[in-house]
Structure 1
Amino acid sequence: MLIPLLWFIVGLTALISGAELLVRYVSKIALKLKIPKVIIALTVVAFGTSAPELAVSVQATIDGQTDLMLGNIIGSNISNTLLILGLSALFIPLKVHKNLIKWDAPIMIGITILLFFLSYNGALGFWECLLLVVLLMIYLLFLVRQKGEISIPDVNPEKDETGNMVVNVVLTITGFVLLITGARWLISSSLIFAEMAGVSELIIGLTVVAIGTSLPEIVISLVAAYRGERDIAVGNVIGSNILNMLAVLGFAGIFSSELIPIQDALLSFDFPVLIAASIACLPIFYTGHKVVRWEGGIFLMFYFAYIFYLFLSSTDHRFLDVFINIMVFFVIPVAIITILYHTITEWNWRRKYAKVFESKGEN
């Protein structure tokens, strides 16, 4: 009992320390190189937090274990969108860069829908995965072009706090290592606690493992939001979702010697949930260019509803039909009406005061 507890404390400390180092020094690198922080979040930070999934997925395809690959990616993206954005906004309202609303969120939605249609025949082959990799290259080139359209704060040479570039890079890499290692230690110790408490493997899978694999993204977004790094907090989630679909699935599929099978349940339930969650981001991001606490609460509520549905479905619980009816005929319609009302109100307000925004140079 003492050793798992020790690893839990060490893992949590490493996780938080790694996130703090990463956010602090990747921001300094962005300023030093005059790269917008939103671009850094969509690439460097997102690639770093998606690296474990990429390594595991490529190894799984080499070993011929492709059955659960797409399911893990879809589940991870659902967690990123509903759990991470929801939890982060619930603690600290998140501001959203206008470029994320204008470009990256719609790109995320488009790729999600495209992947759904590519998967509809029941499998993904080499050519579909190659298309995803090509789209990844196009997206990265697009981000390079975006760089010139985003304003970057000037650094005063007399008050330059960006520090030495080599030190910044070393500490950023250290942050990545601590983040990933801390997450692994935390998950391992939590699994031991759950098994000691007699918790079933199903519950462990739906809670400890599901949330644990998203820990790097969760902590990065929370720490970034706390430090006021709005572009990193939300950009990390959007970038991670895009890279999971294009890089992780694309490269893993190219290395696979066989087709990647798609489960029917994934197409009939999990994929539609991810598409709906992705689309919901646009109106929520648009209203005030931020995700406020009540919007984060909606995201979080739907995440736990999703997990609860998986539990009821997997155990064939008699409450399943009642739960579905409550969600379909009450909870979901109320949430849609609420979001649409606030979106239309915001749109009318912006249209009315459009000239004022233009004169002030709205961000």
Structure 2
Amino acid sequence: MATLAPSAIQIVLGIALLFGGGELFVAGSTAVALLLGIPQLVIGLTVVSLGTSAPELFVSLISTLQGNDAIALSNVVGSNIFNVLVVLGMSALVVPLSVRSRIVRRDVPLLLAVSMAVWGMASGSRLTWQAGLALLVGLVINLVWEIRTAGENPDETDELNDEERLSPPAATVRLLGGLVLLVLGSQLLVRGATTAALALGVSQTVVGLTIVAAGTSMPELVTSLVAAYRGRMDLAIGNVVGSNLLNLFVILGLCALASGSRGLEVDPTLVSRDLPVMLATTMACLPIFWSHGQITRLEGGLLVLLYGLYLLEQVLTNTLPTVTDGFRLVTLTAVLPLVLLVLVWQSVRWWQERRS
């Protein structure tokens, strides 16, 4: 118990810093969007996403340099799963999230394509430095594309209220101050949660895919929750999609380069189970976005429920492997079909309301 007390303090302090940093970071990035004349969605996909992805980058890069490839890779995969299921889901529980056409038309399909490419690269059980270089080149191409297409849909840029109009120095201070608090809070949370998990005897695989991934994704969660509460839906959604893209492009790319000639060793479990789950969570967003252009509270709740099932499957696999097959059978034959029926019903009801 005494061993867990310092970890609990770190967790509580980390969460407090994350909430304060999330409020400052959203305010600063929103003001920067106005000052630069850029749509908030683009800010969410680039500046905000890069800032909130800093904890994942730090943890994965240090793990790579220390030779702990399992933590480096599972952190990225687990973070992407957490972002879609928990961050989007909980943000939609705060307020239904309207999805702009740019997300459906460009960003989610791009994320889907990059996720498939990473799965293909990892299928050889090793991510080489050449693969890392290819991912970084893809990042540059994507950023150029973002800049060139930022002004294609000026009607999609929201007007900011007077409270969100800040001077350049004030906006910069809030943006950088929020980023510092987010990074510090995330590091405290991850350190405390990891120490507690190891003290309780949880395996490194579970730590990487769940606790470390969820801890480093806390900035995305807090930032998107604050953005949703303040009505900045573009920022809430763009932050998630952009963070997932940067996790794959930047973090995996830099980690693969940092690994040198040895490359990043890929756990077979990641290839056979967790990378397909990451791909499936991204694909699950497309029907929701295409059918009625928003994520409702019910659909947000379903996303969070699916993450709970994924988390439970991780725990059972590592603690009670004898009941894992039964749990998977129930999930595949009962829970997932029920989720699909609810999504179809939601889409049909929306189309009927729109026609009437």
Work out whether the TM-score is over 0.5. Answer: yes
Counterparts of 1:96 and 1:120, CA distance in 2: 33
Task: Indicate if the aligned counterparts of 1:108 and 1:238 stay in contact, CA closer than 8 A.
Answer: yes
Counterparts of 1:227 and 1:320, CA distance in 2: 41
Aligned residue runs from structure 1 range 253-272, under 5 A: 253-257=256-260, 258-272=262-276
Q: Aligned pair in 2 of structure 1 residues 154, 238: CA closer, same or farther (>3 Å)?
A: closer
1:212 is displaced (CA, Å) by: 1.9
- Cα deviation code 1:52-92 (max 9, x no counterpart): 22233333333433243222211111111111111221232
Counterparts of 2:123 and 2:9, CA distance in 1: 46
Task: Indicate if the aligned counterparts of 2:60 and 2:75 stay in contact, CA closer than 8 A.
Answer: no
* 1:324 aligns to 2:328 (yes or no): yes
Counterparts of 1:75 and 1:9, CA distance in 2: 22
Task: Indicate if the aligned counterparts of 1:97 and 1:230 stay in contact, CA closer than 8 A.
Answer: no
2:343: which partner in 1?
339
Deviates more, 1:164-173 or 1:3-12: 3-12
Match of residue 111, structure 1, among 88, 110, 114: 114
1:127 is displaced (CA, Å) by: 1.6
Match of residue 71, structure 1, among 71, 74, 79: 74
Q: Aligned pair in 2 of structure 1 residues 223, 342: CA closer, same or farther (>3 Å)?
A: same
1:200 is displaced (CA, Å) by: 3.9
1:345 is displaced (CA, Å) by: 6.2
2:311: which partner in 1?
307
Task: Indicate if the aligned counterparts of 1:38 and 1:232 stay in contact, CA closer than 8 A.
Answer: yes
Counterparts of 1:89 and 1:348, CA distance in 2: 22
Match of residue 133, structure 2, among 130, 138, 146: 130
TM-score by length of 2: 0.88
Q: Give the 3-state SS of the residue equivalent to 1:149 in structure 2.
A: coil
1:213 is displaced (CA, Å) by: 2.2
Which sections of structure 1, spanning at least 5 residues, go unmatched? Answer: 354-363
1:255 is displaced (CA, Å) by: 2.3
Aligned residue runs from structure 1 range 1-363, under 5 A: 8-151=11-154, 152-153=157-158, 162-189=165-192, 199-202=200-203, 205=207, 208-257=211-260, 258-343=262-347
Task: Indicate if the aligned counterparts of 2:127 and 2:264 stay in contact, CA closer than 8 A.
Answer: yes
Q: Give the 3-state SS of the residue equivalent to 2:222 in structure 1.
A: helix
Counterparts of 1:129 and 1:161, CA distance in 2: 39
Q: Aligned pair in 2 of structure 1 residues 102, 194: CA closer, same or farther (>3 Å)?
A: same
Q: Give the 3-state SS of the residue equivalent to 1:319 in structure 2.
A: helix
TM-score by length of 1: 0.86
Q: Larger C-alpha radius of gyration, 1 or 2?
A: 1
Instruction: Give the RMSD, CA atoms, in angstroms.
Output: 2.7
Counterparts of 2:86 and 2:55, CA distance in 1: 19
Q: Aligned pair in 2 of structure 1 residues 311, 154: CA closer, same or farther (>3 Å)?
A: closer
1:360: which partner in 2?
none
1:359: which partner in 2?
none
- Cα deviation code 1:164-195 (max 9, x no counterpart): 11221122100111112123334445567778
Counterparts of 2:171 and 2:255, CA distance in 1: 31
Deviates more, 1:207-216 or 1:229-238: 207-216
Task: Indicate if the aligned counterparts of 1:286 and 1:343 stay in contact, CA closer than 8 A.
Answer: no
Query: What is the percent sequence identity of the aligned residues?
Result: 35
1:22 is displaced (CA, Å) by: 0.8
Q: Aligned pair in 2 of structure 1 residues 281, 252: CA closer, same or farther (>3 Å)?
A: same
Q: How many residues align?
A: 348
